[in-house]
Amino acid sequence: MAYEKGIDGISSSVGKVLETSLQVNSVSRNAFRIMKQSSAMNKLSTLKVTKKTVEDTEDGTICIEKDNLKLSFAHISDLGSGLKTTTHRLADALMIKFTEMGSKEQSVSLSLDEYMRMCELKNTTEMRKQVNSDLKTLLNMRVSFQKSSNREQSMQDIKLCSDVKIKNNIIFFTFSPEFFIIMKTMPVMHYPEKLFRINLKKNPNSYYFLKKIAEHKKMNYFKKNADTLSVKTLLSCTPELPSYEEVVNSDRAVGRRIIEPFERDMNELSDILRWEYCHSNGTRLTDEELENFNYHIFYGLLVKIKWYSYPELKRKKNKAVKSK
């Protein structure tokens, strides 16, 4: 599909739809791991916090809130280089280790070599520096979360971990006693290994998009909407795109700054899934809509997902109540 002029008169996005003939590159590269997850951790992984994005306070404390989630740091220096995608990716790897070990050990270890293989990175010095910075952020962060259903657990100003270090090129990570108890009750999701392989500089939104798509699939597996998400939902899960208001109040290049990066980073997932825009009833966009594609059409659309491979889940059988 050819691109048409964008709504800002400069860019060229019209909502690229992947061709159905696209083939899987390699089944082995579509592997999944298992990881404990919860609403609190899902929301946490959509946040980006750096020293540039936080406001100065008299006592130096940092507090970030998003809906029913609150993060805090005792001092701006505790933030390190910030809470960002590499921090979330490292936390994922450690949660996976915890889950795959049976969710019984409060401390987990992960070698730098293994982590670099997972992320397909080769610069040990840079990776060690990045991991040290991310560990500092995770160690100093405190989390509060107000549950919205009985299936969740609230958190009140708890730390995620109590001790972290790198020794002999091995990451040692000890979950805090409070978080350890909560983690054991969390459900498990299938985590695409693709999340580790994404080039975070080239495709900064892809991690957030794929993680949200995977979370949505797990939570709605037996529902009709398991493979359908709104554009609005995907936009809300990434901290790497500017808001519509920010763009229209500056250069107004909405297509170039929002729509094109959205499509580019969704297309980056083409080795494990294909996607296309659709309406709420599942119908595709008409030629007229494509011809006049703009942000307002884009924002009201859904995205239909087709996984090339996804683990089969089975319904839990309800235990029959035996009458005496």
The structural domains of the chain, with segments of one domain joined by +, span 32-191, 195-307
Cα-to-chain-centroid distance, residue 274:
18
Quote the pLDDT of residue 12: 38
**Sequence-ordered list of residues with C-beta below 8 angstroms from that of 57, at least 6 positions apart, any chain:** none
Quote the pLDDT of residue 259: 97
**Sequence-ordered list of residues with C-beta below 8 angstroms from that of 157, at least 6 positions apart, any chain:** 72, 142, 143, 144
Q: Could you tell me where the DSSP H helices lie in 238-286? A: 244-248, 254, 260-267
Q: Which contacts of 18-26 are long-range, i.e. CB under 8 A and separated by 24 or more positions?
A: 18/267, 18/270, 18/274, 18/275, 18/276, 20/274, 22/270, 22/274, 24/271, 24/272, 24/308, 24/309, 25/271, 26/271
| Six-digit token string for 235 | 């936009």
Quote the pLDDT of residue 26: 35
DSSP state of 29: G
Quote the pLDDT of residue 8: 39
Whole-angstrom Cα distance, residue 7 to residue 9? Answer: 5
Quote the pLDDT of residue 52: 82
Whole-angstrom Cα distance, residue 165 to residue 174? Answer: 9
Quote the pLDDT of residue 4: 40
Give, in order, the Cα–Cα distances in Å from 198 to each of 28, 60, 124, 186: 16, 34, 18, 26
What does each of the 324 residues of the chain score in pLDDT, given as a tens digit?
333 444 333 333 444 443 322 333 333 456 999 999 999 999 999 999 988 878 767 777 889 999 999 999 998 888 888 999 999 999 999 999 999 999 999 999 999 999 999 999 999 999 999 999 999 999 999 999 998 777 788 999 999 999 999 999 999 999 999 999 999 999 999 999 999 999 999 999 999 999 999 999 999 999 999 999 999 999 999 999 999 999 999 999 999 999 999 999 999 999 999 999 999 999 999 999 999 999 999 999 999 999 999 998 888 766 554 444
Q: Could you tell me where the DSSP H helices lie in the chain? A: 39-44, 85-100, 112-119, 124-140, 177-183, 194-197, 206-219, 231-237, 244-248, 254, 260-267, 287-291, 295-299
Quote the pLDDT of residue 39: 92
Which CATH number is 32-191 given?
A: 1.10.10.10
- pTM of the shown model: 0.88
Q: How many helices (H) and strands (E) does the chain have?
A: 13, 12
**Sequence-ordered list of residues with C-beta below 8 angstroms from that of 79, at least 6 positions apart, any chain:** 49, 50, 51, 54, 62, 73, 137, 140
Quote the pLDDT of residue 54: 81
Give, in order, the Cα–Cα distances in Å from 123 to each of 130, 148, 171, 200: 11, 42, 16, 15
Quote the pLDDT of residue 30: 64
Quote the pLDDT of residue 189: 96
Cα-to-chain-centroid distance, residue 34:
15
